Amino acid sequence: MSDSSLAPWRSLLAGALHRNRSLVYARYFQLATIAPDGSPTNRTVVFRGFLDPGDRVQIITDARSEKIPQLAADPRAEVCWYFPKTREQFRLTGTIEVVTATTTDAALQKARRQIWHNVSDGARSSFAWPEPGADRADAAAFEVAPLDKTTPLDSFVLLVLSVDRVDRLQLRGEPQARQIFTRGSDEKSGWDTREVNP
């Protein structure tokens, strides 16, 4: 996919990532999902890049975590991402596809394997830890030898966020600036862009 077919918000987000690259924590964002009883849930996760080709956002997580049954019941999610250096916030709203060991889509399975291969030994080992959220296990249960880089554990899940709406707020400037991007009718990009009041 050529650059010109990327969503218009994507280059702005790439710019923010670049200008905030010295801040490790600028690659963390909050991911909100909806619990089966309708209550909001929210947690910090790490940005694992865009699924190539395109604009879908990759996150990794444990198959045994609470967000997995939540997403099975309701795939809607929102990311809230603040970039301290450039003082801008991106809210990415959309739906999440859960890529597990049994996912048959070859491209998604390839992406899952690739990220498993690329993460640190420590991050890989955490997927062999005792069940997240269960009563605290003995320390010995967390001692995991480095795992094989080629075959992800079944507990390793890739989340792929397809974005339908982006709300970008720039605090820098007087007055502040805010744009809303929605999937729409624009023939070239497929996105509508609207400047709104902050």
Ligand X SMILES: Cc1cc2nc3c(=O)[nH]c(=O)nc-3n(C[C@H](O)[C@H](O)[C@H](O)COP(=O)(O)O)c2cc1C
CB atoms within 10 A of CB 123: 14
Could you give the CA distance from residue 64 to residue 155 in angstroms, rounded to a whole number? 7
> Judged by CB under 6 A, does residue 66 bind ligand X?
yes
Specify the stretch interacting with ligand X by CB under 6 A; choose among 1-9, 64-72, 93-101, 184-192: 64-72
Specify the stretch interacting with ligand X by CB under 6 A; choose among 39-47, 74-82, 92-100, 179-187: 39-47
Q: Which of 7, 9, 51, 61 binds ligand X (CB under 6 A)?
A: 61
> Judged by CB under 6 A, does residue 158 bind ligand X?
no
Q: Print the binding letters for residues 125-154 with ligand X: x by CB under 6 A, - otherwise.
A: -------xx---------------------
Of 9 and 156, nearer to ligand X (C-beta) is 156
Specify the stretch interacting with ligand X by CB under 6 A; choose among 62-70, 88-96, 106-114, 175-183: 62-70
Q: Which of 12, 55, 57, 67 binds ligand X (CB under 6 A)?
A: 67
Residue position matching structure tokens 């269960």: 134
Of 67 and 168, nearer to ligand X (C-beta) is 67
- Angle, vertex CA 48, rays to CA 19 and CA 128, nearest 5: 140
Of 163 and 191, nearer to ligand X (C-beta) is 163
Could you give the CA distance from residue 164 to residue 92 in angstroms, rounded to a whole number? 8
Q: Which residues contact 32 (CB under 8 A, 6 or more apart)?
A: 40, 41, 42, 77, 78, 79, 80
Q: Which two tokens stand for residue 185?
A: 């009718």
Q: Which two tokens stand for residue 101?
A: 């060991």
Could you give the CA distance from residue 31 to residue 71 in angstroms, rounded to a whole number? 12
Please report, as ranges, the residues that interact with ligand X according to CB under 6 A.
28, 41, 43-46, 59-62, 65-67, 132-133
